[in-house]
Amino acid sequence: MSGSCPAPRFQFQGIWCTAGAVSDDQGFLDSKDSMKMPAVLVIPLANGDLGLKFGPDGGCQKTDVTPSKDAVDGRLSSAAMAQTNIRVAFADYKHFTVLYSKTQKRDVRNVWLRPYTRAPEPFPEDAQKMQQLAPQVGLNPSQGALLPKSDQWAGALA
C-alpha cells in the first residue's frame, strides 16, 4: 500500500460504525465470529489529535482513547491501544473509510485494516476495498470479518 490518504479532520469527525476488520492478531482471529459492530465517535482536537469514544461491541464496555498526531503528516499513534502508524488507507468520508494500523504487544506485531461506515449497516464498497487492500499490507482476506450490527448500537454512545 503506497502512502496514505490525508485525513481531513473535520470530514472524519462524527459517528462511525466499525463494520469489520482484517488482521493477523490471534486474539481477533479467535473471537471475530462472536464480535458485534461497535460505534465510534470521532472528535478532532485543536492540537491535531483525535478523540475517539468507542461504544460497546455487543458487550457493556465503553472506551475513550486519544490517538496523538505523529511526526509524519496524516498519521496517528496510541500508546494506550499499542497502535502505531494509524492512517486512512482509503476514504470517501461520506459513506465509508478504511483505517490501517499496526500494533505491538510485547514482541508480537500485528497489522489491522478496519472499515468504518456512517450507517450501522455494512457498505458494499468498504468490504470490497478491505479485500483489495488486505494483500497489499500482508494480510489474507480470510483473516477478516464483517461485523453484525449490535442490538445496543443506537444508544452505544449515550
List, in order, residues 6 or more apart from 148 with CB less than 8 Å away: 36, 37
Residue with cell 489474507: 140
Domain limits, the chain: 9-135
| The pLDDT of residue 88 | 81
Q: What digits encode the pLDDT tens for the residues 90-118?
A: 888 888 888 888 888 888 889 999 998 88
Nearest Cα residue to 3 out of 137, 102, 135: 137
Mean pLDDT computed over every residue of the chain: 78
63: left (phi over 0), alpha (psi -120 to 50) or beta: beta
Q: What percent of the chain is modeled with pLDDT above 70?
A: 72
Nearest Cα residue to 57 out of 155, 158, 150, 154: 150
Residue with cell 490518504: 5
Q: What digits encode the pLDDT tens for the residues 22-59?
A: 999 999 999 999 888 888 888 887 887 777 777 765 44
| The pLDDT of residue 5 | 45
Alpha-carbon gap, residue 80 to 60, rounded angstroms? 19
Q: What digits encode the pLDDT tens for the residues 57-95?
A: 544 455 666 666 766 666 666 776 666 777 788 888 888
Q: What is the DSSP letter of 158?
A: -
Buried b (16+ CB within 10 A) or exposed e, 16-45: bbbbbbbbbbeebeeebeebbbbbbbbebe
Fold annotation for 9-135: Lipocalin (2.40.128)
